[in-house]
Amino acid sequence: MPISSDTQNEIHVILREGGNFPPHYASFTMKWLTYNRTYNEIETGRDREKAIALAERFEHRWSEVENLARALVSLECIGGKRVPTSDLLQPISEVKSATHYLRLQLGLETNIDPANCRFGGCERPEKKNLCNQVAIVPWNKSNIAALMRLVYQVRCSLVHGEKRLGRMNYQTNHDHDLVRFSDEIMTHFLTWINDELI
């Protein structure tokens, strides 16, 4: 079958190590499954809308996740769209918009030119070039909604096979950070649900 060497490596790692991957991957997946079940019972609409709507109920607890949000948006914009010219994922507009919104809110950026990103956390020129091609739109929801939009994208990339486990490199380390921060954020959301909605 014509599959990439990266995907072949992923298969070998899983078969060789029996799925022995960083614990935060399994933890995040289980927490997301629980969050998914919860928003399906409480909210209406499409999955992404339900995930964000449930999160918005906890805007008053933003300060509890503000440092995790800062850590997450200090990284490169989260990719979500495969483009034929690159092995990297290009951010989608809504995710890039939520990222820029949070960077402004948290004082990490003061002047945003979406067509010429100068954010220090974006180190790879090829990724920056992909990101610069994506337009941003004004984010008109809350801080916590922007954060959940980013965590939702991490979940989408994980579920749809775009997080790497095999070869350790910049991208793999970046993926580990995204999943680790998202896992910690989901702990807060599930705790809040348990405290306030049950």
Domain span including residue 49: 24-196
Percent of the chain scoring above 70 in pLDDT = 89
Percentage above 90 pLDDT, the chain = 55
d(CA 159, CA 38) in angstroms, rounded, equals 18
The rounded distance, in Å, linking the Cα atoms of 98 and 171 is 21
Distances (CA, A) of 156 to 29, 32, 48, 197: 11, 11, 10, 25
Residue 18, φ and ψ in degrees, nearest 5: 60, 30
Inside any domain, residue 145 = yes
| Residue 2 falls inside a structural domain | no
Q: What is the pTM of this model?
A: 0.88
Determine, yes or no, domain membership for 143: yes
pLDDT tens string 94-123:
999 999 999 999 999 877 777 788 787 788
How many CB atoms are located within 10 Å of the residue 19 CB?
Answer: 10
Question: Closest by alpha carbon to 49, among 139, 152, 147?
Answer: 152
Asked if residue 14 is part of any domain, the answer here is no
Instruction: Identify whether 129 is part of a domain.
Output: yes
In a domain, residue 67? The reply is: yes
**How high is the pLDDT of residue 18?**
62
Which tokens hold the place of 63?
């300060």
CB distance 28 to 182 below 8 Å:
yes
Q: How many domains does the chain have?
A: 1
Domain assignment of residue 8, yes or no: no
Q: Which secondary structure element, helix H or strand E, spans residue 98, and what is its range? A: helix 93-105
Q: Check whether 197 has a pLDDT greater than 80.
A: no
pLDDT average, residue stretch 154-165 = 75
